[in-house]
Amino acid sequence: MANKIQMQRVEFGKNVGGINDSTQITSVKEHEALDIHNVRLIPTGGIRKRKGYYVVNTASLVGSGTITGVFNYLRFTGNSDLIVCVNSGSVANKIYKKDAGTNTFTSITPSGTWSGGDVTFAVSNDILMIASDGGSNILQWDGSATACTDLNTATAPLAEVVSDWNRHAVALKIPARGSNFEISHQGDSTQWRNSDRFPTDRQTVGATTLYDDLFIFTTDRMYRVSGHDRDDVRMDAVRLSVGATNQRSIVNVANRNLIVWPWRENFYEFDGVNTRIISNRIERPLANTSDFFNIDLSKFDDIQGVNIASQSRVSFLVAEKNKTQNTIILNYHYDLRTPDPKTNQPTGAWTVDKYDRNFAYLGVAIEDDQEVLYAGDYDGHICRLETGDADGDSSADSNDGNAIASRYQTGPFHANMPDVTKRWREIIPVVGQTSSGTVTISTAENWAGSFITADTVALTTGGFASYWGVSKWGEDLWGAAISVIKRLSLSNRSEALSIKFSDSSKDPAWRIDTWVLRFQVLPALRRFE
């Protein structure tokens, strides 16, 4: 009597990764994705369809002006305002604050004409500071005045970039003074002196803080500025071959003591000591050799990003090739770290979001002690992201917008035996009992096969099957609120198998905490000569 072929199982969702579009498909790991589109990676394990967005202001703030800045002005009191800047072309550029608890905006534009251009923000000594590349004076606002005012003192610099360090206001990219950066008196952003001008040998483009130091970026270098006050400032080159292109692209990940930014067709992170490339997994899109997406390298210098600390990710606005505006949001999940395919150093995971509206600027606000992601478009509108079930809703839950197309395709699983045939038996999606939505699960054989739909699964809040028999005794908590929605039978044979989860509806966002694949390894056929 022949021996029965042993049934094996593997669980995927607990260490789910992002896209790997940098190598041959045969080298993609099973926890990585061959394709990912409008899907969130859950830090505790699993995946979910992203939520939609709704338009906050149905009427444009200023004609068809482009949103050039979105910033959360947080003060010592805990009060905050969402600040929005609009470049209105021939009309004087405008600055607005979002009224607390409403979807209305009030102008705090200074009197006269303010040449807005691309703007940067900083909070120094509890005062909001705004600089622009339009050549205007630095603006300031205290959170209560009816309008911003010029930082128009005899000694204040005319700067295009503003930052903050150790209660000093920092001015950078000062055309009239070459490549200097300057700092104000500690605790007083209105007082500046000639001796607080510091030379660099390249044009300064931006700055941010890490630990107690200020890091200055030039076009091809990074400097560490240390010291306790302006009289003992020391500046040292950190790395001679890595710079930045604009302040808006330099993202301070204070919750993880990281700086993340793009430069010269790569993305980098810096932890205060080491600088590493983090974009090797998306090098084909960066090189315009991918079918997944291609970044317009001519607009690479204009990339803008924000940190969403509550979701452990940095989101960048980028333009696709042959597009005139930003069409996608590229997400770097810095806590989901796995070995880099080239360096073997741990780096985070990448995902891609595509929207039916093009966005010019991202900003994070604090509302009811929660982070809220906002995006400004090219027509004077502010959108609240990560809310609702559809894109472009007229309100948070109206569901009158466009359906969100989502998909996540795993790397080919072969159980470390790529040349051995397996009989695939079951896919078992496992979700929490609060999950909802609908997801289609399909499979593809080996490394170039077409997808075969296994089933469409409705995720509901009741009527679940038992979790018994899916996980081994002792590996999961008995009685936990975890359920098998449906066991999907398979009958195909191949050396490898890729699984795809997808949906293109207005249903609530689906979520799958993990999934189990059951299979048998078939013995090699004996050949007789």
The per-residue pLDDT for range 89-122, each reduced to its tens digit, is 655 689 999 988 888 999 999 887 677 778 999 9
pLDDT surpassing 80 at residue 15: no
In a domain, 43, yes or no: no
Q: How confident is the model at residue 527 (pLDDT cuts 50, 70, 90)?
A: very low
In a domain, 399, yes or no: no
CA-to-CA distance for 452 and 119, rounded, in angstroms?
49
Range of the domain at 446: 7-35+406-521
* CB burial of residue 288 (10 Å; 0-12, 13-18, 19+): middle
| pLDDT digits 0-9 by tens, 392-409 | 988 777 778 999 999 999
Whole-number pLDDT of residue 463: 41
In a domain, 350, yes or no: no
In a domain, 315, yes or no: no
The one-letter amino acid at 34: L
In a domain, 497, yes or no: yes
Q: How many domains are there within the chain?
A: 1
In a domain, 295, yes or no: no
| pLDDT digits 0-9 by tens, 16-31 | 889 998 867 777 887 8
pLDDT surpassing 90 at residue 45: no
8-state DSSP, 283: H
- Residue 525 Cα distances to 89, 195, 420, 497, 522, angstroms: 73, 83, 11, 21, 9
**Phi, psi (degrees; rounded to nearest 5) at 303:** -60, 140
Give me the mean pLDDT over the 341-369 stretch: 92
Residue 286 is inside which H or E element, if any? helix 283-286
In a domain, 15, yes or no: yes
CA-to-CA distance for 387 and 50, rounded, in angstroms?
9
Q: How confident is the model at residue 477 (pLDDT cuts 50, 70, 90)?
A: very low
Mean pLDDT of the chain: 86
| pLDDT digits 0-9 by tens, 309-322 | 999 999 999 998 88
pLDDT surpassing 60 at residue 451: yes
Q: CB atoms < 10 A from the CB of 459, how many?
A: 24
CATH number of the domain encompassing residue 483: 2.60.120
In a domain, 435, yes or no: yes
| Residue with the larger pLDDT of the pair 504 and 29 | 504
